[in-house]
Structure 1
Amino acid sequence: MTNQENILVVDDDPEIRRLLVDYFERHGVRAAAAPDGTEMFKALDNGRFDLIVLDLMLPGEDGLSLCRRLRARSDVPVIMLTALGEDTDRIIGLELGADDYLCKPFNPRELLARVRTVLRRVRALPENLAQAEPESLGRSIRFADWTLDTVARHLLSPQGVVVNLSGAEYRLLRVFLQFPNRVMNRDQLLDLTQGKAADAFDRSIDVLVSRLRTKLRDNGREPQIIKTVRGDGYYLACGVEREEG
């Protein structure tokens, strides 16, 4: 990491905010802090951040809700903090688009290591994805009578019904649409969906594929849109039409 990195710490505990900001800066990383979601979005409106450390238990709007809102406007990496150790919270956070998850109490050294890992993996994304941001895919992408709105980040069903997507679901579907009819294994999909750390995500690609199939009404036993190649991975088994506008 270089002194170009800028981290935003969002936590309602002033002592934790001070400790983390001081620790990051002692290790050559610029850092700022916010006590809640309102101040977080103000900070994002006024500056550029390479990663957000986001506490789950915040006053008012909690970290899960904030992560969902954040993913509707930005792909900035997120590491979630929580005093809860339940797997459900961890999985929900990851499905909403968090890049990693760390339980309190934690060692700041471990958090810094996770920050470095997430940023390194994000920067290591294959060039063919880095060169194809959502705008280059078009304003709307049609496939199998469905439409993905790349600005609103939601699906439109063949009947015209809006289907909301989590941040992780949106990114995974975007990858499938960018590389239709190409088989991709789990490791490739992990890297292409924001460089998730494998130990943080485990088999969540399988979970996300299952969730996408449900939202696409794609029969899990005999899927027609996202197909499984046993032992190899998944692929989008339909044509893709991009519409500008």
Structure 2
Amino acid sequence: MRIGDELAGRTVLVVEDAPETLEVIISYLERQGLRVVPAPSGEALKARLAAGRPDLVLLDINLPDGDGLALAKALRLGEEIPLIFVTGRDSDADRIAGLSYGGDYVTKPVNLQELLIRIRNLLRRSTAPSQLLPPHAPAEAPLTFRGWQLDLIRRALFRPDGSYLALTTGEFNILAALAAMRPKPVSREYLLDVISNRDPRSVSEHTVDTLITRLRRKMRLDDGSPMPITTVRGIGYALEADDPQ
């Protein structure tokens, strides 16, 4: 399998302390046209990030100098940079924690073709905040609800005051699904299906609820405006449309 030419040259930071695993991943991804930067520890990860922003991070959870989940949360990797956890830890608690931090999740031993597909999908969807255009720039009209603007082309959410709000991949995908169906309610089962190509065994309705909770927390406004995401008892969630003019 060869990655598309449009992704050639994109930079992937691989945080992995096992030399043999690191070498296998680097060799495979470089053959696909990706630029790979290695980091064998959490401190090396921080140094690489300080030197420049990669397009995507592959992060082991068990590192010699720390826990990858804690690092991802502290560095806001899933929010700022597309993230895939590559780890031997496969408990439900670890998977849910990884997903809630905005990361995709791949377990070892790594299926390299599966990993490539997940990298490709995340890179195709990703747009760095520094590359975002302001919400009034010429483009396809964004979806609006309660003053919020959701731009599906640039995968960007803007507050009613026009400022940009960073979302993880999972958060954006769920919000986009709600926006596409608004104001009709969307079931948790449907929202599970839209969480970016993850193994259904690794997610649950609790994962959806966790992401909705994170969205509501991020979208809470200081002026006391009502939350646009509502709970529909017995079904799931809905997104309110614009107020009538």
Number of equivalenced pairs: 205
Give CA deviations for 1:118-169 in whole Å, capped at 9, x if unaligned: 333447xx972454746x537898xxxxxxx95xx8xxxxxxxxxxxx9689
Are 2:197 and 1:209 aligned? no
| Higher mean C-alpha displacement, 44-53 vs 9-18 | 44-53
Matches within 5 A, 1:94-243: 94-98=99-103, 100-122=104-126, 128-131=151-154, 133=156, 136-137=158-159, 182=183, 185=186, 196-199=196-199, 201-203=203-205, 204-209=207-212, 226-229=229-232, 231=235, 233-235=237-239
Gaps of 5+ in 2: 128-139, 143-150, 220-225
Residue type of the partner of 1:233? Y
Taking only the aligned residue pairs, the percentage that are identical comes to 33
Conserved? CA contact 1:79–1:102, under 8 Å:
yes
Conserved? CA contact 1:68–1:97, under 8 Å:
no
Q: In structure 2, how many angstroms separate the alpha carbons of the residues matched to 1:196 and 1:97?
A: 11
Q: In structure 2, how many angstroms separate the alpha carbons of the residues matched to 1:84 and 1:61?
A: 15
Task: State the Cα distance separating 1:208 from its structure 2 match.
Answer: 2.7
Q: 1:215 to 1:29 in 2, by over 3 A?
A: closer
Task: State the Cα distance separating 1:109 from its structure 2 match.
Answer: 2.5
Q: 1:184 to 1:75 in 2, by over 3 A?
A: farther
Q: State the superposition RMSD in angstroms.
A: 4.3
Gaps of 5+ in 1: 142-148, 154-165, 217-222, 240-245
Match in the other structure for 1:85? 90
Residue type of the partner of 1:208? L
Q: 1:85 to 1:34 in 2, by over 3 A?
A: same
Q: In structure 2, how many angstroms separate the alpha carbons of the residues matched to 1:101 and 1:64?
A: 11
Q: In structure 1, how many angstroms separate the alpha carbons of the residues matched to 2:169 and 2:228?
A: 18
SS in 1 for 2:118: helix
Q: In structure 1, how many angstroms separate the alpha carbons of the residues matched to 2:78 and 2:125?
A: 21
Conserved? CA contact 2:78–2:101, under 8 Å:
no
Conserved? CA contact 2:155–2:172, under 8 Å:
no
Task: State the Cα distance separating 1:59 from its structure 2 match.
Answer: 1.7
Conserved? CA contact 1:84–1:103, under 8 Å:
yes
Task: State the Cα distance separating 1:228 from its structure 2 match.
Answer: 2.3
Q: In structure 2, how many angstroms separate the alpha carbons of the residues matched to 1:119 and 1:131?
A: 13
Residue type of the partner of 1:34? A
Are 2:18 and 1:13 aligned? yes
Residue type of the partner of 1:6? T
